[in-house]
Chains A and B, each alone.
Chain A
Amino acid sequence: MTTVIDRSRTSSGMDVDQALRMYRQMVTIRLFEEKVNDLYTRALMPGLAHLYIGEEAVAVGVCEALRPDDYITSTHRGHGHCLAKGARLDRMFAELLGKEAGYCKGKGGSMHIADPDTGNLGANAIVGGSAGIATGAALSAKRLKTDRVAVCFFGDGAMGQGLLYEVMNMAALWKLPVIYVCENNLYNEYTHNSETLAGDILTRAAGFGIQGESIDGQDIRQVYATAKETVDRVRRGAGPAFLICNTYRFMGHHVGDVNREYYRSKQEEQMWKTERDPIKLTAEWLANEDLADRARLERVEGEVRSEIEKAAEFALSAPFPRPDKVDQDVYA
C-alpha cells in the first residue's frame, strides 16, 4: 500500500494554489512599494507616498476572503489594499506619477486611488475618514440585498477619531455587513500608540456589542482564516465585526521619513524585519511544508519583479493630463 499525499491542500487546510497566490500578491505589494520608494528617491514621483511594507499579509489575507464585488475603503497607506483588491500595477503607478492613465486620471494620486471595478470605494487621506463611507456601503448592500460586505481598513491612529465610534454604533444597531479592520502598526505617524490609546482597543468594539478579534497580522494563514470566517459570518447577516491585525510599518510614516530614531529604535525595526516579516514567514512555511521550494518562490519573485518594471516603465512614459482637464469631473 502506498500512501497518497494530497499536495493540493496545506496542513492548515488551505488550498496550495491559494497560498501561492497570496504569497505572490504579498511579494507584488512589497516590490511595488520598493519601486515607489525608488521613484521617490530619484525624484521621479511628485509628492509623497506612505509605504505599506511590512503590513502586506493584512491586505492580502483580508481581500483574499472577499468577493470581487465586495467593497473596501482604504487609507493614506493604501497601495496594498488597492492591489490586494485587484488593482492593476500599471494604472497604480500611473496614478502615483500623476498621469492621465492612472486610476483617477492623475487627479487623486497616491492617497486617493479609487476603482469601482474592483469595489474600491477609495483610499482616504483623512485618518478614519472613510468609516462612514464603508458603513454606508454596507447599508446599501443590506437595503439593495446585494449580499455584499464592506471592509473598512484603518490604522490604530484612527482609533482616536469619533466618527468611527458613531458609525460602529449604527452598524451594530442595524446589523450592517461591515468589517472594521484595524491595522495596528503601533505608530500614529511619529507617535507610539502607548501615548495615544487608553485601555484595550478590543473592548471598544465590545462596547457596541460588536464581535472582535485581535490576531497576528504578520501571519497570512491566521489573517486569511480569521477574515474568511468573519466575512462569511458578516455576509450571513450577523452584523458588523471588528478585527485588529497586529502588524508593523517597516518604513517611515512616508517615504521622506528616513531618520526615525527619535520615535523608535533601529533595533526594534530590525527585530520586525528579521523575525516578523510576513513574506519571509510565508516563504518559510511554504518551504517547511514542502509546498514550494526556494527555486519556485524565487521564480515568483522574478516574475513579479519584471511585471513591476514593465508597469513602472509604462507609467513613466505615459503622458500627463492636459492642463485643460483641470476643471473636468468637478461635477457629475
Chain B
Amino acid sequence: MPEVRELTLGEAVREALAEEMRRDPRVFMCGEDIAEAGTVFKVLGGLVEEFGTERVLDTPISEAGFTGMAVGAAMTGMRPVVDIMFGDFSTLVMDQMVNQAAKIHYMSGGKWKVPMVMRATLGATRRSAAQHSQSLHAWFCHIPGLKVVLPSTPYDAKGLMKTAIRDDNPVVFFEDKMMYKMKGPVPAEEYTIPFGVADVKRAGTDITIVATSSMVQVALGAAKLLEESGISAEVIDPRTVWPLDEKTIVESAKKTSRAIVVDEGYGRYGVTAEIASVIAEGAFFSLEAPVKRMGAMHVPIPFSPPLEDATVPTEQTVFEAAKALCG
C-alpha cells in the first residue's frame, strides 16, 4: 500500500515547492517575508534553511518590482515562484502580469517563454477588512496567456503546484488563506495533477454545484444538508479556472439538469458568470431551471464580523438556493 499522510493545505504547498526546488535548481522563490519568517501565513517555514537565501529570496516591499524581475528571470533560464502575500496586492503587479508576463510569448511570435508562478491568497472572513480579503482571481482569468489555478484540498494543492512550476507559461496560483490549516490525505510518492481537468468532489444526480477554492467545502456542506432533504447534489471543482474543463461541467449539468456556480470572487463579470454561461450554452436543452450564480456580494469587504459574514456564500445560503432550484 502506498503511504498516504494527512497534511494541511499549507504543508502540501510547501512540500510541492520543496520537491520542485530539489528537482530543479532553476526554481527559486521571491517575495516579502518568505525566508526566515516563512511568509505571514508560515506556509514556507523551513525552506530557507534547506535552500538558502538566494533561492528563498526576501525582497523589499516592491510587488511590481520583484514580479517584473521574475518575468525577466523566467525569460532567461530561471523558474521563479513569486509570493504575493495577499491577492489584494494583485493591483500592484497587474502591468507586469498582464502587459508583460502574459503577452511576451505571443508578442515575440512564440520565441520567448515566461515560466513563472505567481502565488497569492484569496478569501474573506479573516476580519482583515477591505484591502486584505478580496478574491480577485477573475481578473487574471480574463487575460489570454495566463493560467489560473484554485486548489481546494491539500492533495490538489500539491499536485497542481508541481504542475504549475513545470509549466512553461505564467501561472497564477491562488490559495485560500482560511484553508491553510485544513487537513487532507496526500500520498508520499510523487504525483502531479494536469491543468484543465475538473474533479468530481461528490457524485450526485439532482443538481450540479460547481465550486472553486474556498467554496468547495461550502458546497460539500450544502450537499450534505441537501441529502438530508432528499436532494442528491454533485459537486464539481474545476481546479483550474483557465484552462477550464468545460466538458465535465457541461456533462454534469446535462445529467442533473440544474446547476449552481459558487465562487468567492465578485459575482458580477466574474468566474461564476463565465461558468454559468458555459453551462447555459452547453446544456441549455437539458436544463430545468436557470443557472444560479453565487459569489461575494458586490460591496467592499467590511471589517465588522456580522457584516463580513454576510458577504460570502455559506453552506446555508447554497443549500437554500439549491433547494429552491429543485423545488
Chain A residue at smallest Cβ distance from B110: A329
Instruction: Report whether A107 and B73 are in contact in the complex, using a CB–CB cutoff of 8 Å.
Output: no
Instruction: Report whether B72 and A139 are in contact in the complex, using a CB–CB cutoff of 8 Å.
Output: yes
Chain B residue at smallest Cβ distance from A144: B77
Is B99 an interface residue when CB atoms closer than 8 A count as contact? yes
* Complex interface residues of chain A between 122 and 145 (CB less than 8 A to chain B): 122, 124, 126, 129-141, 143-144
Instruction: Tell me the bound Cα distance from A170 to B73 in angstroms.
Output: 14
Chain B residue at smallest Cβ distance from A171: B69
Instruction: Report whether A105 and B76 are in contact in the complex, using a CB–CB cutoff of 8 Å.
Output: no
Is A115 an interface residue when CB atoms closer than 8 A count as contact? yes
Is A102 an interface residue when CB atoms closer than 8 A count as contact? yes
A residues near B75, Cβ cutoff 8 Å: 121, 133, 136-137
B residues near A108, Cβ cutoff 8 Å: 107-109
Is B197 an interface residue when CB atoms closer than 8 A count as contact? no
Is A225 an interface residue when CB atoms closer than 8 A count as contact? no
A residues near B60, Cβ cutoff 8 Å: 166, 169-170, 173
User: Which residue, A107, A131, A134, A332, has most C-beta atoms of chain B within 10 A?
Assistant: A332
Nearest Cβ on chain B to A242's Cβ, whole angstroms: 16
Chain B residue at smallest Cβ distance from A124: B100
A residues near B99, Cβ cutoff 8 Å: 126, 129
Instruction: Report whether B107 and A132 are in contact in the complex, using a CB–CB cutoff of 8 Å.
Output: no
Mark A131-167 against chain B: 1 for CB-CB distance below 8 A, else 0.
1111111111101101000100000000000110011
Mark B114-149 against chain A: 1 for CB-CB distance below 8 A, else 0.
110000000000000000000000000000110100
Instruction: Report whether A170 and B62 are in contact in the complex, using a CB–CB cutoff of 8 Å.
Output: yes
* Complex interface residues of chain B between 62 and 76 (CB less than 8 A to chain A): 62, 64-76
Is A286 an interface residue when CB atoms closer than 8 A count as contact? no
Instruction: Report whether A136 and B28 are in contact in the complex, using a CB–CB cutoff of 8 Å.
Output: no
Instruction: Report whether A112 and B77 are in contact in the complex, using a CB–CB cutoff of 8 Å.
Output: no
Nearest Cβ on chain B to A17's Cβ, whole angstroms: 31
Is B112 an interface residue when CB atoms closer than 8 A count as contact? yes
Instruction: Report whether B108 and A136 are in contact in the complex, using a CB–CB cutoff of 8 Å.
Output: no
Q: Which 3 A-B pairs have the closest CB atoms?
A: A132-B68, A136-B72, A166-B65
Instruction: Tell me the bound Cα distance from A124 to B67 in angstroms.
Output: 16
Nearest Cβ on chain A to B53's Cβ, whole angstroms: 10
Is B278 an interface residue when CB atoms closer than 8 A count as contact? no
Instruction: Tell me the bound Cα distance from A103 to B106 in angstroms.
Output: 12
Instruction: Tell me the bound Cα distance from A107 to B109 in angstroms.
Output: 6
Q: A139-B78, A170-B65, A332-B169 are in contact. Are A133 and B28 (CB under 8 A)?
A: no
A residues near B169, Cβ cutoff 8 Å: 331-332
A–B Cβ pairs within 8 angstroms, 18 of them: A105-B109, A106-B109, A107-B106, A107-B108, A114-B111, A116-B112, A126-B95, A129-B100, A132-B70, A132-B100, A135-B72, A136-B74, A137-B76, A163-B64, A170-B65, A170-B69, A173-B60, A330-B106
Instruction: Report whether B64 and A136 are in contact in the complex, using a CB–CB cutoff of 8 Å.
Output: no
Instruction: Tell me the bound Cα distance from A140 to B109 in angstroms.
Output: 23
Is A93 an interface residue when CB atoms closer than 8 A count as contact? no
Q: How many residues of B contact A (CB 8 A)?
A: 42
Is B37 an interface residue when CB atoms closer than 8 A count as contact? no
Instruction: Report whether B72 and A121 are in contact in the complex, using a CB–CB cutoff of 8 Å.
Output: yes
**Residue of B54, B72, B112, B145 touching A132 (CB-CB under 8 A):** B72
Instruction: Tell me the bound Cα distance from A331 to B144 in angstroms.
Output: 8
Is A104 an interface residue when CB atoms closer than 8 A count as contact? yes
Instruction: Tell me the bound Cα distance from A331 to B72 in angstroms.
Output: 17
Is A52 an interface residue when CB atoms closer than 8 A count as contact? no
User: Which residue, A102, A136, A144, has most C-beta atoms of chain B within 10 A?
Assistant: A136
Is B96 an interface residue when CB atoms closer than 8 A count as contact? yes
Task: Please name 4 further chain A to chain B contacts, defined as beta carbons within 8 Å, in addition to the given A116-B112, A124-B100, A144-B77, sorted by A numbering.
Answer: A132-B71, A170-B59, A330-B105, A332-B169
Q: How many residues of A contact B (CB 8 A)?
A: 46
Instruction: Report whether A122 and B107 are in contact in the complex, using a CB–CB cutoff of 8 Å.
Output: yes
Instruction: Report whether A169 and B62 are in contact in the complex, using a CB–CB cutoff of 8 Å.
Output: yes
Instruction: Tell me the bound Cα distance from A112 to B106 in angstroms.
Output: 10
Instruction: Report whether A141 and B76 are in contact in the complex, using a CB–CB cutoff of 8 Å.
Output: yes
Instruction: Tell me the bound Cα distance from A328 to B108 in angstroms.
Output: 12
User: Which residue, B60, B68, B74, has most C-beta atoms of chain A within 10 A?
Assistant: B68
A residues near B72, Cβ cutoff 8 Å: 73, 121, 132-140, 150
Is A224 an interface residue when CB atoms closer than 8 A count as contact? no
Instruction: Report whether A330 and B62 are in contact in the complex, using a CB–CB cutoff of 8 Å.
Output: no
A residues near B107, Cβ cutoff 8 Å: 104, 107-108, 112, 114, 122
Instruction: Tell me the bound Cα distance from A276 to B47 in angstroms.
Output: 57
Instruction: Report whether A139 and B145 are in contact in the complex, using a CB–CB cutoff of 8 Å.
Output: no
Chain B residue at smallest Cβ distance from A135: B69
Is B258 an interface residue when CB atoms closer than 8 A count as contact? no
Is B168 an interface residue when CB atoms closer than 8 A count as contact? yes
Instruction: Report whether B104 and A114 are in contact in the complex, using a CB–CB cutoff of 8 Å.
Output: yes
Nearest Cβ on chain B to A81's Cβ, whole angstroms: 15
Mark A53-84 against chain B: 1 for CB-CB distance below 8 A, else 0.
00000000000000000010100000000000
Q: A169-B62, A331-B169, A332-B169 are in contact. Are A104 and B111 (CB under 8 A)?
A: yes
Chain B residue at smallest Cβ distance from A167: B65
Instruction: Report whether B109 and A102 are in contact in the complex, using a CB–CB cutoff of 8 Å.
Output: yes
Instruction: Tell me the bound Cα distance from A21 to B197 in angstroms.
Output: 56
Instruction: Report whether B64 and A105 are in contact in the complex, using a CB–CB cutoff of 8 Å.
Output: no
User: Which residue, A73, A126, A330, has most C-beta atoms of chain B within 10 A?
Assistant: A330
Instruction: Tell me the bound Cα distance from A131 to B71 in angstroms.
Output: 11
Is B113 an interface residue when CB atoms closer than 8 A count as contact? yes
User: Which residue, B78, B100, B109, B144, has most C-beta atoms of chain A within 10 A?
Assistant: B109
B residues near A331, Cβ cutoff 8 Å: 105, 145, 147, 169
